[in-house]
């Protein structure tokens, strides 16, 4: 283990070469950028006021940067960030600047674990969906993309792909069923 690993990110900037500092900052920015919405929603599940949740998110971001040297690459950044956010929620609650939540710390800890588990499940389902979408034929993927990603109505999708509205509805239904079955198989494979 290098001695420099004991430094905070700010201290590492003094002891590391500029390329290493830039790479670390870029890794952090990428991970944090992908986590912001989930972190905000996670915090909001404990704090009823969105303005308070935003304040806690900003504090969490600062702590995440200071502690980024402790993050183990290859592990779940969101889960780690949620743990940090949980402690920031507790700090906010103990500060008593706002109306306290009517829950004990033990109840909050249980809620935090449930929320972390749910975030992990959402990520697993999303990854399975992407793998399953890749298995569909291109014309079907195009219909799915138009209808569900871009929000185009079924009639316009039918026109775009040169099918009748009813044929398009049936194809979309079959695609949804196939995707659901594929996702279930993928998730079962991950668990098994």
Q: Does an H or E element contain 155, and which?
A: helix 154-161
- For residue 136, which phi and psi values (nearest 5 degrees)? -75, 155
d(CA 172, CA 192): 30
Residue with tokens 């504090």: 59
Q: 64 and 30 in contact (C-beta within 8 Å)?
A: no
The distance of Cα 137 from the centroid of its chain, to the nearest Å, equals 28
- CATH fit for domain 1-102, picks 3.40.50.300, 1.20.140.10, 1.10.1740.10, 1.10.1060.10: 1.10.1740.10
Q: Does an H or E element contain 134, and which?
A: helix 105-135
Length of the chain (residues)? 192
Entry pTM: 0.48
pLDDT of the chain, 192 residues: tens digit per residue? 344 444 455 554 455 678 887 888 888 888 888 888 888 888 888 887 888 899 999 999 999 989 988 888 888 888 888 889 988 988 887 776 545 556 666 766 766 777 666 666 767 788 888 899 999 999 999 999 888 888 889 999 999 899 999 999 999 999 999 999 998 999 888 887
Q: 81 and 59 in contact (C-beta within 8 Å)?
A: no
- CATH fit for domain 106-192, picks 1.10.10.10, 1.10.3210.10, 3.40.630.30, 3.30.200.20: 1.10.10.10
For the chain, give every domain's residue range: 1-102, 106-192
d(CA 48, CA 57): 14
d(CA 171, CA 173): 5
Q: 89 and 41 in contact (C-beta within 8 Å)?
A: no
CA dihedral (133, 136, 139, 142) in degrees, to 10, reads 0
């Amino acid at each position: 283990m290098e001695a420099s690993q004991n430094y905070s990110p700010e201290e590492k900037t003094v002891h590391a070469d500029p390329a290493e500092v830039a790479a670390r900052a870029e890794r952090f920015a990428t991970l944090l950028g992908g986590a912001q919405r989930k972190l905000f929603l996670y915090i909001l599940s404990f704090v009823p006021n969105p303005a308070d949740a935003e304040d806690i998110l900003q504090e969490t971001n600062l702590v995440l940067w200071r502690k980024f040297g402790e993050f183990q690459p290859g592990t779940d950044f969101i889960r780690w960030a949620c743990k940090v956010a949980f402690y920031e929620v507790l700090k906010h609650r103990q500060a008593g600047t706002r109306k306290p939540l009517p829950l004990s710390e033990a109840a909050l800890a249980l809620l935090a674990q449930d929320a972390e588990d749910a975030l992990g499940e959402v990520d697993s389902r999303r990854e399975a969906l992407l793998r399953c979408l890749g298995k569909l034929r291109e014309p079907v993927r195009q219909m799915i993309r138009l209808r569900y990603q871009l929000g185009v109505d079924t009639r316009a999708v039918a026109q775009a792909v040169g099918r009748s509205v009813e044929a398009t509805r049936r194809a979309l239904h079959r695609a949804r069923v196939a995707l659901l079955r594929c996702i279930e198989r993928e998730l079962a494979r991950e668990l098994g």
